[in-house]
């Protein structure tokens, strides 16, 4: 290698090609690059040498030097192209670090920063910005749009639960609907309501009830099966009306729509199928904030109180589904965590009540229970 060989050199300053003579230095620690066209011979220390990776031509080795630059990789812009097979072979044999990837200073820190930043931005969006925007939009959205969207959401939930055009889930027994209507009239009588509540009963075994935007409310058959009195159902309805009146479902759905848009982008889901699932799941199992739940409870207490319906039925229902928890967790529970505090509050409220009257007659109650038959 001392005798040297010829090679091509690009100085990284101009586009001119230099035909150079390359040889090992006398101390065998560097490559010496000589050419008449270069102002002075160059000395490239062997330990700085790096070669370009993934070259398609195996008979060529392009060398550069490890150097701290502003470039995408810490490399000297100059290039030395070697075509001499002996020198290429010698380089491969004696320089194990030839193809090393050198990371610039602080690269890992940068990767960490970017990953952290991306995560933080996503979380900020999901948990701060979207909820705030959803709150603002829910206050200003015109009611008829809200209702139209709520109807769409309810229809989609029906499909989500297994309903179809041939086999819709809606329970439409006339007596049952009349009973439900009677219950609603009794609850909302004399109340100043923003929304006209539209009730839907779906034939599904899930123990659940939920409110969709725009006054749409869905009760699943499983909840009716689980309840032992009309008052227990009325308590659940009053609670959901509380959510509707404070626009909780609208806010939650708006937020879910934004979150779904964001998440599908990150996951690269182009069909949007996942997005729809997220929104529907959110409407059905929306866990509103603790305050929203407490407010809906307080609303329900007042509503039941005003309608002379026994508030303790609420406590009874809470206790019942708490006991169910040992066997299976009813869906209603996962979105409306029952604490002893909530049942106790309902009992305390019940003690302040005077005379109460049944919300439905026994025959009405039986009609409601068999609304899906």
Q: Which is nearer to another protein, 261 or 358 (CB)?
A: 261
Shortest Å, Cβ 195 to another protein:
17
- Can you give the C-alpha Rg of the chain in angstroms? 37
State the SS3 of 126-149. Answer: HHHHHHHHHHHHHHHCCHHHHHHH
Q: Which is nearer to another protein, 38 or 193 (CB)?
A: 38
∠ CA(338), CA(218), CA(252), 5° rounding?
A: 70
- Cα–Cα separations (whole angstroms), residue 60 to 27, 54, 66, 95, 101: 26, 11, 19, 16, 19
Return the half-sphere exposure (C-beta side, CA atoms, 13 A cut-off) of residue 291.
Answer: 2
Shortest Å, Cβ 25 to another protein:
23
Query: Is 83 within 8 Å of 7 (Cβ atoms)?
Result: yes
Cα separation, 364 vs 157, whole angstroms: 28
Among 49, 146, 151, smallest CA distance to 97 is for 49
Shortest Å, Cβ 259 to another protein:
7
Q: Which is nearer to another protein, 167 or 352 (CB)?
A: 167
Q: Which is nearer to another protein, 186 or 251 (CB)?
A: 251
State the residue for tokens 């965590």.
337
Cα separation, 10 vs 64, whole angstroms: 10
Shortest Å, Cβ 332 to another protein:
23
Shortest Å, Cβ 38 to another protein:
12
Cα separation, 73 vs 173, whole angstroms: 73
Q: Which is nearer to another protein, 158 or 226 (CB)?
A: 158
Q: Which is nearer to another protein, 41 or 99 (CB)?
A: 99
Shortest Å, Cβ 283 to another protein:
11
How many residues belong to the chain?
373
Shortest Å, Cβ 307 to another protein:
33
Query: Is 211 within 8 Å of 243 (Cβ atoms)?
Result: yes
Shortest Å, Cβ 102 to another protein:
11
Q: Which is nearer to another protein, 27 or 70 (CB)?
A: 70
Among 12, 14, 10, 91, smallest CA distance to 49 is for 91
Q: Which is nearer to another protein, 219 or 257 (CB)?
A: 257
């Amino acid at each position: 290698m001392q005798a040297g060989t010829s090679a091509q050199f690009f100085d990284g300053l101009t586009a001119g090609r230099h035909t150079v003579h390359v040889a090992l230095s006398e101390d065998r620690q560097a490559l010496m690059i000589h050419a008449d066209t270069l102002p002075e011979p160059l000395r490239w220390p062997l330990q700085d040498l790096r070669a370009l990776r993934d070259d398609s031509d195996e008979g060529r080795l392009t060398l550069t030097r490890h150097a701290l630059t502003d470039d995408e990789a810490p490399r000297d812009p100059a290039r030395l192209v070697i075509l001499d097979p002996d020198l290429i072979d010698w380089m491969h044999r004696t320089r194990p670090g030839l193809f090393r990837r050198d990371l610039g200073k602080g690269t890992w820190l940068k990767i960490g920063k970017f990953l952290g930043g991306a995560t933080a931005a996503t979380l900020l969006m999901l948990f701060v910005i979207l909820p705030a925007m959803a709150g603002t939009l829910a206050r200003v959205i015109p009611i008829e749009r809200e209702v139209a969207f709520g109807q769409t959401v309810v229809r989609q939930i029906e499909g989500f639960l297994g309903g179809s055009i041939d086999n819709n889930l809606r329970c439409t027994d006339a007596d049952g609907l009349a009973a439900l209507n009677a219950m609603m009239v009794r609850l909302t009588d004399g109340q100043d309501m923003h929304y006209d509540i539209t009730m839907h009963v779906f034939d599904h075994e899930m123990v659940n009830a939920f409110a969709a935007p725009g006054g749409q409310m869905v009760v699943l058959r499983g909840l009716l099966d689980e309840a032992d009195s009309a008052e227990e159902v009325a308590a659940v309805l009053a609670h959901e009306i509380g959510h509707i009146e404070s626009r909780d479902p609208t806010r939650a759905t708006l937020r879910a729509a934004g979150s779904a848009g964001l998440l599908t982008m990150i996951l690269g889901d182009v069909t949007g199928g996942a997005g729809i699932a997220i929104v529907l799941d959110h409407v059905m199992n929306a866990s509103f904030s603790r305050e929203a739940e407490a407010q809906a409870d307080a609303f329900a207490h007042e509503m039941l109180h005003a309608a002379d319906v026994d508030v303790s039925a609420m406590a009874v229902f809470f206790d019942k589904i708490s006991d169910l928890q040992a066997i299976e967790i009813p869906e209603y529970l996962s979105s409306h965590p029952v604490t002893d505090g909530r049942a106790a509050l309902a009992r305390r409220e019940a003690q302040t009540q005077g005379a109460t009257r049944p919300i439905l007659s026994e025959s009405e109650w039986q009609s409601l229970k068999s609304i899906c038959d």
